[in-house]
Amino acid sequence: MAKSTGIILIVGGITFANEVVFAPLAGGKTSLATDLSAAWRIPVATFVAAACLGGLEQLSPKLAVGISYISLITVLFARMGSAPAPVENLLKVLGYKTSPS
């Protein structure tokens, strides 16, 4: 397994968990089943990204690992898709940030 593959799998897992679990919990929803309809794309995109970075790692290992770390930082702090960033959802769930009313 390439060095960048594990990092990209973590990125995909965080994105999937944020879209399917954390965003509904932070929003106060009790049913998570409705959010699974569009979440099937995340594992597919994760596989494609891991394959592309694995190929890029054959040419330039430092570049591929650097891109994977950049994607990890981006997915933690930036809003992706319909859900807020994982850090924002974590703050809401822990009670440190209240949603504006």
Closest CA to 86 of 94, 77, 95: 77
The pLDDT value given to residue 67: 96
- 93 neighbors 26 (Cβ within 8 angstroms): yes
- 15 neighbors 42 (Cβ within 8 angstroms): yes
The pLDDT value given to residue 9: 96
- Per-residue pLDDT band at 91 (split at 50, 70, 90): confident
Name, in order, each residue with C-beta under 8 angstroms of 63's C-beta and a sequence gap of 6 or more: 56
Q: How do residues 14-69 score in pLDDT, each as one tens digit?
A: 988 888 877 777 666 655 555 566 678 889 999 999 999 999 999 999 999 999 99
Tokens of 76: 């933690």
The pLDDT value given to residue 19: 82
d(CA 23, CA 40): 16
Q: How far is CA 75 from CA 49, 60, 71, 101, in A?
A: 14, 23, 6, 26
The pLDDT value given to residue 29: 64
For tokens 């999937």, the residue is: 16
